[in-house]
């Protein structure tokens, strides 16, 4: 910055013809200008101005140096103006990395509308469940279920992650609806295995007081693909506890029904997050993408603190639907009951 300031003073001195004139142009004083020119000459080992009591005359070396400095300052000014314009007008390549299921089910259907609204933005979309280093991999924004605690990153929650215990109506018609938590031991469960850790995603069910607790159940079937888990459940292979974005399509179509009110993990790190590098000025292309995504989620009844799952009805017999107050067994649901409660 000292060197840049010295160059600005040097050009002002060339234009003004004196230290006093340069001081007026730079909002400084003649002594400061004289010292700045002296430091610049010392760094270069050249005399830029011939000084006398009557006048200040630029040297041949000074003229050559001034031509180069002017070109450099013009290029710098042009570059700054161009970058400011880019940041005001969304454009350029936007690199997005998304978790697999969320990318397929929530993000992908929105991309056409986003690209039509912002035609100067080019998209590069990566779909994977790996927590890659978004700075090292030059990713503008990552959509992840859960966030990485990294001081270099900003994690903005798009929505909570709500879980629903689901089954296919045909499965319940054939094998009956569990009347209490213990009954689930006699039914097959479809489990999800996390790819990176190889751990099983826990299952949560309400306890006697209605509070959700981890509940140990045998998973007869396992998969590391969320969409496969939802489809296996819809195919009638058993029960599954699905995050809301995986359950939505099946619940809305009637291929799945929900047996309990939603469960939301209390961990503040649980949810769906937009993660991007921390910086003083967020690029316009990233800003408009996150705003667009928030608006699209709001149209689905979701925001940073709510999802549509909060209002989705539970398809359970009367006794089981009161699990928040008691874990007593209820009356098994009939097929006719199931058919009348599939959609809100």
Q: What pLDDT shows up at residue 267?
A: 84
Minimum mean pLDDT range among 101-115, 229-243, 328-342: 328-342
What one-character DSSP code corresponds to residue 309?
A: G
Q: Tell me the chain's radius of gyration from C-alpha atoms.
A: 32
Residue that is written with structure tokens 């509940």 in the block:
215
Above 70 in pLDDT, residue 41? yes
Percent pLDDT > 70 in the chain is 90
- The C-alpha atoms of residue 315 and residue 338 are separated, in whole angstroms, by 6
Q: What pLDDT shows up at residue 322?
A: 43
Q: Which of 97, 26, 107, 14 is nearest to 293 (CA)?
A: 107
Residue that is written with structure tokens 């009348």 in the block:
340
Mean of the pLDDT values across residues 232-260?
95
Backbone angles phi, psi at 244, to 5 degrees: -55, -35
Mean of the pLDDT values across residues 69-98?
83
Q: What pLDDT shows up at residue 320?
A: 45
198 or 247: which leads in pLDDT: 247
Above 80 in pLDDT, residue 339? no
Q: What pLDDT shows up at residue 316?
A: 57
Mean of the pLDDT values across residues 79-88?
71
Using pLDDT thresholds of 50, 70 and 90, give the confidence band for residue 338. Answer: very low
Q: What pLDDT shows up at residue 2?
A: 82
DSSP state string for 76-122: HHHHHHHHHHHHHS--EEEEEEE-HHHIIIIIGGGHHHHHHH-TTEE
Q: What pLDDT shows up at residue 257?
A: 95
Above 70 in pLDDT, residue 344? no
- The C-alpha atoms of residue 46 and residue 49 are separated, in whole angstroms, by 9
Q: Give the model confidence (pLDDT) of 173-190 as tens digits.
A: 999 988 888 889 999 999
Q: What pLDDT shows up at residue 236?
A: 96
Q: What pLDDT shows up at residue 256?
A: 96
Residue 63 Cα distances to 90, 134, 218, 232, angstroms: 41, 47, 84, 78
Mean of the pLDDT values across residues 150-164?
93
Reading the block at residue 58, the tokens are 């630029």
Backbone angles phi, psi at 62, to 5 degrees: -65, -40
Mean of the pLDDT values across residues 258-280?
89
Using pLDDT thresholds of 50, 70 and 90, give the confidence band for residue 323. Answer: very low
Q: What pLDDT shows up at residue 66?
A: 92
Above 70 in pLDDT, residue 319? no
Above 50 in pLDDT, residue 325? no
Using pLDDT thresholds of 50, 70 and 90, give the confidence band for residue 144. Answer: very high
Q: What pLDDT shows up at residue 55?
A: 83
Q: Give the model confidence (pLDDT) of 86-134 as tens digits.
A: 667 788 999 999 999 999 999 999 999 999 999 999 999 999 988 788 9
Mean of the pLDDT values across residues 124-152?
88
């Amino acid at each position: 910055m000292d060197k840049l300031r010295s160059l600005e003073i040097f050009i002002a001195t060339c234009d003004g013809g004196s230290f006093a004139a340069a001081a007026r142009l730079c909002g400084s004083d003649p002594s400061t200008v004289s010292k700045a020119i002296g430091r610049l000459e010392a760094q270069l080992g050249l005399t830029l101005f011939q000084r006398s009591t009557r006048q200040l005359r630029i040297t041949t070396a000074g003229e050559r140096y001034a031509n180069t400095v002017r070109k450099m300052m013009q290029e710098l000014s042009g570059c700054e103006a161009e970058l400011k314009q880019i940041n005001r007008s969304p454009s350029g390549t936007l690199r997005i990395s998304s978790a697999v299921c969320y990318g397929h089910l929530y993000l992908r259907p929105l991309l056409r509308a986003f690209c039509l609204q912002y035609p100067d933005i080019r998209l590069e979309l990566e779909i994977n469940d790996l927590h890659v280093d978004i700075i090292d991999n030059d990713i503008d924004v990552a959509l992840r279920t859960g966030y990485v605690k990294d001081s270099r990153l900003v994690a903005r929650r798009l929505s909570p992650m709500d879980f629903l215990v689901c089954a296919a109506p045909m499965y319940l018609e054939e094998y009956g609806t569990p009347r209490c938590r213990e009954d689930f031991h006699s039914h097959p469960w479809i489990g999800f295995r996390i790819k990176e850790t190889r751990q099983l995603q826990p299952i949560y069910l309400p306890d006697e007081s209605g509070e959700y607790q981890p509940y140990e159940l045998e998973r007869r079937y396992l998969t590391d693909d969320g969409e496969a888990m939802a489809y296996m459940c819809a195919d009638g292979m058993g029960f599954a506890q699905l995050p809301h974005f995986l359950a939505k399509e099946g619940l809305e179509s009637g291929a799945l029904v929900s047996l309990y009110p939603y469960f939301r993990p209390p961990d503040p790190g649980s949810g769906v997050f937009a993660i991007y590098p921390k910086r003083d000025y967020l690029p316009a292309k990233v800003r408009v993408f996150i705003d667009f995504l928030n608006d699209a989620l709001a149209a689905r009844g979701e925001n940073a603190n709510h999802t549509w799952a909060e209002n989705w009805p539970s398809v359970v017999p009367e006794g089981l639907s009161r699990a928040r107050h008691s874990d007593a067994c209820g009356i098994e649901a009939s097929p006719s009951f199931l058919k009348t409660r599939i959609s809100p």
